[in-house]
Amino acid sequence: MRTRIRALSAAALVAAALVATGCSSGDPTPGPAGGGEVVLRGCTAQNPLLGLMTNEVCGGHVLDVVTSQLMRYDAETAAPVYDIAESITTDDAQLFTVKLKKGYLFSDGTEVKAENFIRAWNYGAYAPNGMAQATFFEPIAGYADLQCPGDDCDANKPPKEELEGLQQVDEYTFTIRTTEPTSNMELRLGYTVFAPLPEAFFADPKSAEFGRTPIGSGPYKVTSNTATEIVMEPNEHYTGAFKGKVDRIVYRIYDNDSSAAWADLLAGNLDFNDIVPGDQLVGDAWIAELGQERTVVRTSGTIEVLTVSPNDPQFKDNPKLRQAIGQAIDRETITREIYGGSRTPATGWVAPVVDGYLADQCGKACVYDPVQAKIDYDAAGGYQGILSVSVNGDGGHKDWAEAVCNNLRNNLGADCIVNLTPDFRTLLNQARDGELMGLFRNGWVMDYPSIENFLTPIYRVGAASNYSGYNNPEFESTLTQAAAATNLAQANELYQAAEAMLAQTYPTLPMWYRTTPAAWSTRVDNVVVTKMGWIDATQVTVHQP
Q: Do residues 470 and 463 make contact, with C-beta atoms less than 8 angstroms apart?
A: no
Per 3-state DSSP, the chain is made up of helix, strand and coil in percentages (nearest 5) of: 30, 20, 45
The angle formed by the CA atoms of residues 350, 76 and 453, to the nearest 5 degrees, is 25
Dihedral pair phi/psi, residue 451, rounded to 5°: -55, -35
The Cα-based distances of 447 to 177, 300, 320 in angstroms read: 22, 11, 32
From first to last of the 545 residues of the chain, give the pLDDT tens digit: 222 222 233 333 333 333 333 333 333 333 344 689 999 999 999 899 999 999 888 999 999 999 999 999 988 888 889 999 999 999 988 999 999 999 999 999 999 999 999 999 999 999 999 999 999 999 999 999 999 987 788 888 999 999 999 999 999 999 999 998 887 899 899 999 999 999 999 999 988 999 999 999 999 999 999 999 999 999 999 999 999 999 999 999 987 667 899 999 999 999 999 988 888 888 889 999 999 999 998 888 899 999 999 999 999 999 999 999 999 999 999 999 988 888 899 999 999 988 899 999 999 999 999 999 999 999 999 999 999 999 998 878 999 999 999 999 999 999 999 999 988 889 999 999 999 999 999 999 888 888 999 999 999 998 889 999 999 999 999 998 998 887 888 999 999 999 999 999 999 999 999 888 899 999 999 999 988 888 999 999 998 87
Assessment of whether the complete model's pTM goes beyond 0.85: no
**How far apart, in whole angstroms, are the C-alpha atoms of residue 518 and residue 175?**
41
**How far apart, in whole angstroms, are the C-alpha atoms of residue 250 and residue 74?**
23
**How far apart, in whole angstroms, are the C-alpha atoms of residue 87 and residue 100?**
7
Which residues, 6+ apart, have CB-to-CB distance to 324 below 8 Å?
Answer: 373, 374, 376, 377, 380, 412
b/e for 464-498, b at 16 or more Cβ within 10 A? bbbbbebebeebbebbbbbbbbeebeebbebbbbb
Supply the DSSP string of 151-218, one letter for each residue: G-TTT---S-SS-TTEEEEETTEEEEEBSS--TTHHHHTTSGGG----HHHHHSTT-HHHHHS---SS
3-state class of 476 per DSSP? helix
Taken in order of first residue, the domains within the chain and their CATH numbers are 10-250+521-525 (3.40.190.10), 300-515 (3.10.105.10)
